[in-house]
Amino acid sequence: MIDLHCHSTFSDGGDAPTDLVRLAEEAGLHALALTDHDTLDGLEPFLGCQAKSSVRLIPGIELSCRFLGRELHILGLFIDPQNQSLRGHVADLRTRREHRNHAMLRRLQELGHRIGWEDIAREAPSRLVSRAHFARALARCGSVNSANEAFGRLIGDGCPGHVPFHDLEPSEAVRWIREAGGVAVVAHPGRSAHRGFIWDEAMRDLRDMGLSGLEAKYAEYGAREEAYFIALAAQLDMAPSGGSDYHGSYKPGIQLGRGRGRLEVPDAWLDGLEARRP
Ligand code: AMP
Ligand code: MN
Ligand code: MN
Ligand code: MN
How much of the chain exceeds pLDDT 70, in percent?
100
Q: Please answer whether residues 249 and 239 qualify as being in contact, where contact means their C-beta atoms are separated by less than 8 angstroms.
A: no
pTM of the entire predicted model: 0.97
Kindly tell me if the per-residue pLDDT of 247 is higher than 90: yes
Kindly tell me if the per-residue pLDDT of 84 is higher than 90: yes
User: Which ligand is in closest contact with the Cα of 128?
Assistant: 1
Nearest CA to ligand 1 atom 14: 132
- pLDDT at residue 253 in the model: 96
Nearest CA to ligand 1 atom 3: 130
Strands 70-77 and 2-3: unpaired
CA of 121 to the centre of ligand 4 (A): 21
- pLDDT at residue 166 in the model: 81
What gap in Å lies between CA 257 and CA 63, rounded to an integer? 21
- pLDDT at residue 231 in the model: 98
- pLDDT at residue 186 in the model: 98
CA of 112 to the centre of ligand 3 (A): 29
- Is the beta carbon of 8 within 6 A of some atom in ligand 1? no
- Is the beta carbon of 64 within 6 A of some atom in ligand 1? yes
Ligand 1 atom showing the smallest separation from residue 97 Cα: 3
Nearest CA to ligand 1 atom 22: 132
- Is the beta carbon of 136 within 6 A of some atom in ligand 1? no
- pLDDT at residue 94 in the model: 94
pLDDT tens digits along 163-216:
998 889 999 999 999 999 999 999 999 998 888 899 999 999 999 999 999 999
For range 114-142, the mean pLDDT: 94
How much of the chain exceeds pLDDT 90, in percent?
94
User: Which ligand is in closest contact with the Cα of 130?
Assistant: 1
For range 242-251, the mean pLDDT: 96
For range 41-57, the mean pLDDT: 98
- Is the beta carbon of 245 within 6 A of some atom in ligand 1? no
- Is the beta carbon of 63 within 6 A of some atom in ligand 1? no
Confidence of residue 10 (pLDDT cuts 50, 70, 90): very high
pLDDT tens digits along 87-118:
999 999 999 999 999 999 999 999 999 999 99
For range 268-274, the mean pLDDT: 98
